[in-house]
């Protein structure tokens, strides 16, 4: 069993800081769960364009207010505490944070922790040697 706290992660290499956000990686590919789990805060007043071309991502907002624009069809969805959005079609999107937002994010396939956004907001697909307990099917990538 894996048990860790946010305090265990803050200030380590699992605490990844970008211009608009800070992502604390609670579970990564090396943990062998088949998904990664992140506690991400988004800075107030920011606009972040993203495109997870190789990953499915679910984002559950637990604090703050903003909106996500689906660039596939132009729809703008308000996001607040208790709202989840799931990028089940690898949609290009823009996240606008009106206030500081806190999100619980799940990636399938899992992030290794080494990924950074390229100029399109894409994370590359990185596959490490699976740990002995890993049993993910590798589904969802193109
Ligand atoms: C909400 C979102 O996708 N923010 C970007 C960071 C990403 N969730 C991550 O790497 O944790």
Domain ranges of the chain: 6-113
pLDDT in tens, 37-83: 999 999 999 999 999 988 999 999 999 999 999 999 999 999 999 99
Q: Is 50 in the pocket of ligand 1 (CB under 6 A)?
A: yes
pTM: 0.85
Query: Coil, helix or strand for 6?
Result: helix
Q: Is 21 in the pocket of ligand 1 (CB under 6 A)?
A: yes
CATH annotation of 6-113:
2.60.120.10
pLDDT in tens, 90-139: 999 999 999 999 999 999 999 988 776 665 566 666 655 544 454 443 33
Compute the C-alpha angle 45/49/54, nearest 5°. Answer: 140
Q: Is 28 in the pocket of ligand 1 (CB under 6 A)?
A: no
- Answer whether the bond into residue 109 is a cis peptide, omega within 30°: yes
């Amino acid at each position: 069993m894996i048990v860790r706290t946010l305090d265990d992660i803050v200030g380590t290499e699992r605490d990844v800081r970008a211009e608009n956000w800070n992502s604390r990686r609670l579970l990564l590919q090396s943990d062998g769960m088949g998904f990664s789990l992140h506690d991400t805060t988004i800075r107030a007043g920011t606009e972040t364009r993203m495109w997870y071309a190789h990953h499915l991502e679910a984002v559950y907002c637990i604090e703050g207010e903003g909106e996500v624009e689906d660039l596939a069809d132009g729809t703008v969805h308000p996001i607040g505490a208790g709202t989840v959005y799931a990028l089940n079609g690898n949609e290009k999107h823009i996240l606008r944070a009106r206030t500081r937002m806190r999100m619980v994010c799940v990636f399938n396939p899992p992030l290794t922790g080494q990924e950074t956004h390229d100029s399109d907001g894409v994370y590359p697909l990185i596959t490490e040697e699976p740990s002995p307990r890993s049993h993910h099917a590798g589904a969802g990538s193109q």
